[in-house]
Structures are given as structure tokens and as C-alpha cells.
Amino acid sequence: MSATFDTDVVVIGGGPVGVTALAMLGRMGLTAIGVEKNTEMWRTARAVHFDGEAFRMLQSLGISEKLAKATRPMNSMHIQNEAGEVLVSVPTGQFGSQAWNDDLTFHQPDVESVLRDIVSDLPGIELRCGVSASEVNNVADGVEVTVVNAEGQESVLRSRWVIAADGARSSTRRALGIEGDRFGDDANWVVVDGHLVDSPGYEDDMIFLCHHSRPAMWIRLPGNRVRMEFMVMDGDDPDEIVTPEAIERISRGILPAANFTPERQAIYTFRGRIAQRWREGNIFLVGDAAHQAPPCFGQGLCAGIRDIANLVWKLDVVKRGIEDEDLLDTYETERKPHAQFWVEQAVKAAGFLQTLDPDAARQRDQFIRANPTEAAPVSPPLGPGFHDGEVDNRAGRLSVQPILSDGRRLDDLIGINFTLVLDTGMYNDLDADLRRQLESSNEVVVLTEPTQTDLILQAVGAQAVLIRPDRYILSVAESPVELDRVVRHIPGISVGAARTA
Ligand SMILES: Cc1cc2nc3c(=O)[nH]c(=O)nc-3n(C[C@H](O)[C@H](O)[C@H](O)COP(=O)(O)OP(=O)(O)OC[C@H]3O[C@@H](n4cnc5c(N)ncnc54)[C@H](O)[C@@H]3O)c2cc1C
């Protein structure tokens, strides 16, 4: 770190994405100061769903056991219409390619507490609560952040980079003059979280209730917590609609006032937005500051965690001088199209769900019956960047995580590193100098043991696979000559002349 900086990174916002950033920065050995304007953690839930990828990214923080206790596999999902007819049933909750359940639900404050606990234990990492960022300016080689504490005292923090995780209303984004592209129409919904006791609720864990008289959603959370969301209709009284009697009525008796104890009722606007730029000099927008989606696929927080996993290892290799600053441009080029895919999918699903006209609802029902896969979109590859996806579509995609015969998950063995996966014969064919460099490098783990490599090589359909620290595939090789080229992508592997066939 330069002597002129107080810390490597200032993280603005101590919501789930900001705290994940602090934790990952700390795990990579960078220093960071987080500022959060609220003195206490927000105790109400917003996000309720992780996918297997988000869980895997958090696994790298060493908190899997605690997270597993705070989450519940989502075992069943369906879409139904006004008449209660099931239009499509989607199997969920499988132990998927990430070695975690594909869908899990949680009570957000429980997950945030786990994240905050590790942040407080990491050397070089500090979260200052009750401290607001009031001004952020790019300066030569770094950023100056003016902060104001709870007593109103102002000071300036100097860092090499800023991660702005200051939420949907990001003052950083606005101060930088970054506009948001708008996707779909905004709509107001009532979100109700609470405890349902001695009443069955719906049988499935997640239901899109495509009721054209009042669209709604149902989600079962850990313990006896449940969430229901209801579209606000013309003529609703915003004060009445959140009363226990109204909730019993609009839930069609699923949340009876006598059995349901609400924890939070709030009107929330479903919206789709993508910030036009995600990097301004040394300032990076992440999480809801960069993208917002209607919560139909529960991808908002998952996308924020992906942002952090993508950005932090790049900051690390640039800080250590083994990659140059240009690498940081790939944060936006890779992540923005991926996040936009999920915003578009969620906006489309919200459009289906929010159909109010009975004729249009009938057509929607027919479409869903005829196109059941629309209910379960598959995550896309990264946009163009630091991977070979533009020349080989096996690269730029998320890798699988094997579970080993002793029950350990592979990522726990390799840490946050580049990973070269191949068989021994292919490895031995590599240039001896490159092999020496790989074996003495702290950046890369070489895996040749079949119990560790087979699943990955089969899933990708390649002879050799190079995986980045964020578990995305950097490149693949089918021959020693290609492998010779591929390993030269690894930061710090110094290159002689590449072999030719
Ligand atoms: C009803 C609802 C349901 C949702 N369901 C899901 C779901 O199932 N799955 C999912 O993945 N996502 C879901 N989301 C989205 C998810 O909640 C958000 O994507 C996630 O909370 C974003 O986290 P964040 O840290 O980026 O922003 P936030 O959680 O908004 O945190 C931003 C933080 O920055 C702080 N801050 C702001 N300005 C400043 C400043 N100037 N200085 C210091 N601090 C500042 C704020 O106080 C806040 O703590 C849902 C959202 C809602 C509202």
C-alpha cells in the first residue's frame, strides 16, 4: 500500500454486498475500511434467496457451516393461475453443480450477522458504523472519500480504490452523474414477512401466484418464517393493505390473523435498472448501486455477491503488480451483461405475473404451459473480458465444484487461486520451465488427481481447464500446444516464446 493511502479500499455501504466485499478483501490480504451510515444492522429481511453459486462464493470465506445453519433448501416451486391450476412445476433444491443446493432461502439478518462476524475478525479490515460518505472524488492514483461520523465530524479517507455498495439510491452513482437504463415498468408490491404457526400455508416452498385479480408470491423461509408479496392494486389504501385483517383477506386465508405474526410489512417498488457505467476511475459500483431487478428469481443479492467475487481478485493482482490496471476494466465488461440478463429475465417474469387482464392472463397461461423452461432460466456466461469465451464458448462460464470422497468440497482445498485442471500425461508434456514456474507459483494450484479432476474435465468437455479465483473458466486446452498458450494467462507466469505445432 502506498504511504499516502489510509487503506487499499474504502467500501461505501455496509449492507450485505458491502460486508461481503470487506470479507473477501480481507481474505485476499487487502486492507479496507467500510463506512455504513446506519449505526445498527438493518434487522428486516429483503433478500430471501441464494443460488448455489452465491453460496459457493461465500464458501470461500470459510463460513459454510454457519451459512448452512442459517439457510433452508428450497425443495419445490410452481407457477399457478387464478383458478389454482399449476401451469408449471420446477424441481428446485437439488444438490447442484456448485456442490450446494441450487436454491436456498434465508432470513437476511441471520446471514448478514454471519458476514459481519467474520469482518470483525479479519486483520486490516474495519467496518465503521454510523459513518456516512458525503463526497467521493477520484484523485491522482486513488480516491478521496469525505466521511461524516454520528457526531457530525468530517474527515477524509484516502484509498487506492472505492467500492460503492451504497444501494439502489447510491449517492456515489448520482454524484458521478451515472444514469441508469430502465427495464420494464415499475410496480408497487406489499412485502409481508412473519411467523406462521399452527397453519399449513402452501405446500410448495415457492409459488408464483399468477392471480390476475391480485398477483402474489409465496416463499417458505427457515423455521416458521414465511414471506408473501402482493401487488398493490388501484384503489388500495396503503395503510389498510398492511393490517392483519387485510393480509388475511388478500392472502386468501393462507396467512390468518390468528396464526400469522408479521415482522415486517412494507410497500416496495419492483424495478429493473442497470447503471450505464460501473467504473469511474478508481471507483467501482457494485450490488444494487449497479443493478436492480424485480425479486422474481431472487437474484438481486446473488448478483451483488458475483460482482464482489469478480472484482476483488482483480484488485488483488493489480495491487501486487502482477497484472496491470486495464484488468479492472473487465469488471464491467464481464459483469454488466450477466447482470443485465438476470434483470431482463426478472422483468419478463414480473410482466407475466403482473398480468391483470383475464384474456391476456389466459394467453399467458398457454404460453407458460407450452414453454415450461422459461420458468427456470440458466445463468449465462460472462461478458467479454479476461477469459477466452469469445473464441471458445466453454470459457467464461462458471466451473463445477466436485465433492471429494472424504466429503470435502474442492474449493476448500485450493483456496482463492487460479486452478489448472488436467491429467498427468498432459501436464508432463508441458515445457519444463513452465512446469517449474507453475510449481513455484503462489497464484496457481495444479490438479492432476483424477478424483479431483474428472468431474471438471467431463463437465467442460476438455483435456485441460484453467479456472480463475472467482471459479469462472479462463481457458481450455485440447493439446500440449494449446496448454502452453493457456498457462501463460496466469498472472506472474513469465513467458518465453510460445510453442507452435
Ligand atoms: C422485497 C425485496 C425482496 C428481495 N428479494 C431478494 C432475493 O430473494 N434474493 C436476492 O438475491 N435479492 C433480493 N432482493 C434484493 C436484495 O435485497 C438486494 O439486492 C440487496 O439487499 C442489495 O444489497 P446491497 O448491499 O447492494 O444494498 P443495500 O442492502 O441497500 O445496502 C446499502 C447500504 O449502504 C448504506 N449507505 C447508503 N448510502 C450510504 C452512504 N452515503 N454512506 C454510508 N453508507 C451508505 C445503506 O445504509 C445500506 O446499509 C430483494 C429486495 C427487496 C427489497
SS3 per-residue string spanning 342-362: HHHHHHHHHHHHCCCCHHHHH
Which residue of 72, 145, 166 sits with most ligand 1 atoms within 8 Å of its CB, as the best mutation to test the pocket? 166
Cα 94 from Cα 103, distance rounded (Å): 8
Query: Cα of 438 to ligand 1 centre, how many Å?
Result: 41
Query: Cα of 303 to ligand 1 centre, how many Å?
Result: 11
**pLDDT the model gives residue 90:** 85
299: left (phi over 0), alpha (psi -120 to 50) or beta: alpha
What is the number of alpha carbons within 13 Å of residue 234 lying toward its C-beta? 1
Do 242 and 190 form a contact (C-beta atoms < 8 A)? yes
The string of DSSP letters for 315-339 reads: HHHHHTTSS-GGGGGHHHHHHHHHH
| Residue 494, φ and ψ in degrees, nearest 5 | -80, 145
Those residues whose C-beta lies under 8 Å from the C-beta of residue 147, and which sit 6 or more positions away, are 35, 128, 131, 132, 133, 134, 154, 155, 156, 157
Q: Which CATH number fits domain 387-501: 3.40.309.10, 3.40.630.10, 2.30.30.40, 3.40.30.120?
A: 3.40.30.120
Query: Cα of 132 to ligand 1 centre, how many Å?
Result: 16
**pLDDT the model gives residue 391:** 95
Looking at residue 385, the DSSP 8-state letter turns out to be S
Cα 154 from Cα 334, distance rounded (Å): 36
* Closest residue to atom 30 of ligand 1, CA basis: 167
For residue 67, which of 82, 86, 54 has the smallest C-alpha distance? 54
Those residues whose C-beta lies under 8 Å from the C-beta of residue 475, and which sit 6 or more positions away, are 387, 388, 392, 395, 465, 466, 486, 489
Query: Cα of 165 to ligand 1 centre, how many Å?
Result: 8
Query: Cα of 167 to ligand 1 centre, how many Å?
Result: 5
- Domain boundary assignment for the chain: 7-73+99-181+273-348, 387-501
Query: Cα of 311 to ligand 1 centre, how many Å?
Result: 18
Q: Which amino acid is at 276?
A: Q
pLDDT one-digit tens code per residue, 472-483: 999 999 998 999
Task: Characterize the bridge pairing of strands 71-73 and 76-81.
Answer: unpaired
**pLDDT the model gives residue 496:** 54
* Closest residue to atom 49 of ligand 1, CA basis: 15
Q: % helix / strand / coil in the chain, to the nearest 5?
A: 35, 30, 40
Cα 47 from Cα 300, distance rounded (Å): 7
* Closest residue to atom 27 of ligand 1, CA basis: 167
Give, for 138, the enclosing helix (H) or strand (E).
Answer: strand 132-139
* Closest residue to atom 38 of ligand 1, CA basis: 166
Cα 415 from Cα 47, distance rounded (Å): 27
| Three cell numbers, residue 377 | 432460466
Which residue of 131, 225, 288 sits with most ligand 1 atoms within 8 Å of its CB, as the best mutation to test the pocket? 288
* Closest residue to atom 31 of ligand 1, CA basis: 15
| Architecture of the domain delimited by 7-73+99-181+273-348 | 3-Layer(bba) Sandwich (3.50)
Ligand 1 atom index nearest CA of 17: 25
Tens digit of each residue's pLDDT, the chain (501 residues): 445 899 999 999 999 999 999 999 999 999 999 999 999 877 777 899 999 999 999 999 999 999 999 999 999 999 999 999 999 998 776 788 999 999 999 999 999 999 999 999 899 999 999 999 999 999 988 999 999 999 999 999 999 999 999 999 999 999 999 999 999 999 999 999 999 999 999 999 999 999 999 999 999 999 999 999 999 999 999 899 999 999 999 999 999 999 999 999 989 999 999 999 999 999 999 999 999 999 999 999 999 999 999 999 999 999 999 999 999 999 999 999 999 999 999 999 999 999 999 999 999 999 999 999 888 899 999 999 999 999 999 999 999 999 999 999 999 999 999 999 999 999 999 989 999 999 999 999 999 999 999 999 999 999 999 999 999 999 999 998 999 999 989 988 876 544 443
Ligand 1 atom index nearest CA of 189: 1
* pTM of the entire predicted model: 0.96
- Coil/strand/helix, residue 392: coil
Query: Cα of 390 to ligand 1 centre, how many Å?
Result: 33
Query: Cα of 451 to ligand 1 centre, how many Å?
Result: 40
Query: Cα of 418 to ligand 1 centre, how many Å?
Result: 30
Ligand 1 atom index nearest CA of 20: 25
For residue 79, which of 361, 379, 375 has the smallest C-alpha distance? 375
Query: Cα of 45 to ligand 1 centre, how many Å?
Result: 10
Which residues' Cβ are closer than 6 Å to ligand 1?
12-18, 35-38, 42, 46-49, 132-133, 165-168, 171, 191, 268, 287-288, 295, 298-302, 304
Ligand 1 atom index nearest CA of 19: 25
Ligand 1 atom index nearest CA of 229: 1
Query: Cα of 36 to ligand 1 centre, how many Å?
Result: 12
